[in-house]
Amino acid sequence: MKQTKLKRSSRQHVIIGNCIAAVSAAETLRRLNPGDSIVILGDEAVASYSRCLITYYLGDMVDKKHLFSHSEKWYEERDIKLMLSTRALKVDTKNRFVFVSAKGKKKKISYDTLLVATGSTPVFLKSFPYDPDGIIGMRNYDDAQRLKSWAKKGKKAVIIGAGFVGLKSAYGLVKHGVRVKVVELLPTVLGRMTDTEASIRVRDRLTKHELLDIELNNSVISTRRHGDKYMVTYQDGGEEEADFIVASVGVKANTDFLEGTDIEIDRIISVDDCQKTTAEDVYAAGDVCRSRHAVTRQWIYNAIWPVAAAQGRVAACNMSGQNRRYEGNIPMNSVDFYELWVTAIGDVQVEAQDIKEITFKSSGIYQKVKLRDGIPVSFMATGNVDGAGMIRGAIVGKTPWDEFIRRPQAQILPVVNQTDI
């Protein structure tokens, strides 16, 4: 049989962004297309690092060596061209160009396929506008470095928003001896991850630390410069001085540079199951785009690490001509504060007539499962989170609860056997 040599394509794949979605896409692209050229445009001055870890880095819980997951050598080994300090300014989807500013110089980069994996940035409001001297978000390595240096001289910080990042930053800052006050508009901490009971447990555990204070049902209505400090005015009329302020009230997708293109954006990029955008040969992955809810099949914004990693991989397969679809995931997260673990899987705060709840409560453990028509839809645990993944499997696999609790493995869950383990 005559062997035909495969024609070596020499396409150029351009990836905007340099976090997990971009890195996992680049790795897959290289594996599938050994001959193609791959370019990563990162707007930061450092190579890829784990973004979830920066709050841990702030609290000196991880060192630099572990924070940076991919060294520049990693890119070299795979022949991936890494352009750092390069910000995308505009995309021309008709002629296939990305206009960038690389270290101050403007450049034009052509592409055959483009992946947008630019992630998101913190939201600032009028009452607390971005200020490089003292009001910042907590999203990248730069922010962590700045907060670390401020923590050395500052004695008091205000964190707006008691979400995941807000509490984790507070946890990190008190380790540096900074007095921290967290202000939250909602009556619970950790946003969509908890209910009232779990929120109380988390709050109690955190505020056990003498430097940490959490105030719920309150918000910041104005901030103004006061010498080299900031005066913060709260909704309940109180005023307070702070050395610096961290905003963590939410994020918005980085899509500004895509304005004026034919890419459909509804706050986040609308992609299909193949991670394709509405523009030809332009794909998106990670926090910048939507993803499917694995159970309800609705489009949701699920900005978590495993989703970004999987989306990057799926996008890369489709960019290489393979047809792959992403099956989606469910909202979930896991965190610990002073050895109190919190895991939330699925739509924890769903309230409806047809929802049945099963709870287990003891002094150290609180677990709750919500069932709809006998099928688990969410699970939340604090204290003992061992074996949480088994319920996740039941939620995604739509396993009826009666069937699930008959499995021997399920017996280790306090919510199943109703005993304190």
Partner 1 sequence: MKAFRFIPDKCDICRKCEEACAMVCGTSEKQSGKHVPHIRICQGPQGPFLRLCKHCEDSPCVDACIVESLQRGPDGLVIQDESRCIGCFMCNMVCPHGAMKTIMSKEKAFKCTLMCGKTETPTCVYACDRGALFFEDLRAHNNRIRREKIKELPKR
Least Å from the CB of residue 304 to partner 1: 9
Tokens of 151: 């923590």
Binding string, residues 301-330; x marks residues near partner 1 by CB under 8 A: ----xx--xx--------------------
How many CB atoms are closer than 10 A to CB 340?
18
Using CB under 8 A, pick the residue from 392, 401, 404, 414 that binds partner 1: 392
Phi, psi for 50 (deg, rounded to 5) = -80, 115
Region from 53-61, 104-112, 129-137, 318-326 binding partner 1, contact rule CB under 8 A: 53-61
3-class SS at 380?
strand
120 vs 223, which CB is nearer to partner 1?
Answer: 120
241 vs 402, which CB is nearer to partner 1?
Answer: 402
Tokens of 346: 């699925």
Please tell me whether residue 74 binds partner 1 under the rule CB under 8 A: no
Please tell me whether residue 237 binds partner 1 under the rule CB under 8 A: no
Please tell me whether residue 388 binds partner 1 under the rule CB under 8 A: yes
| Distance of alpha carbon 269 from alpha carbon 181, whole angstroms | 35
44 vs 281, which CB is nearer to partner 1?
Answer: 44
Least Å from the CB of residue 325 to partner 1: 15
Please tell me whether residue 180 binds partner 1 under the rule CB under 8 A: no
- The rounded radius of gyration (Å) of the Cα atoms in the chain is 23
Closest of 252, 131, 238 to residue 183, by C-alpha:
238
The H helix count followed by the E strand count for the chain is 11, 27
| Strand runs labelled E in 117-228 | 120-122, 135-136, 156-160, 179-183, 212-215, 220-226
258 vs 295, which CB is nearer to partner 1?
Answer: 295
Using CB under 8 A, pick the residue from 19, 183, 288, 332 that binds partner 1: 332
Instruction: Read off the amino acid at residue 383.
Output: G
| Distance of alpha carbon 59 from alpha carbon 151, whole angstroms | 10
Using CB under 8 A, pick the residue from 1, 2, 323, 339 that binds partner 1: 339
Question: Most distant CA pair in the chain: distance in Å?
Answer: 85
Using CB under 8 A, pick the residue from 107, 361, 386, 400 that binds partner 1: 386
Please tell me whether residue 285 binds partner 1 under the rule CB under 8 A: no
| Distance of alpha carbon 154 from alpha carbon 136, whole angstroms | 14
> Residues in the site for partner 1, rule: CB under 8 A?
50, 52-53, 56, 61-62, 66, 69, 305-306, 309-310, 332-336, 339, 341, 343, 345, 385-390, 392-393, 408-409, 411-412
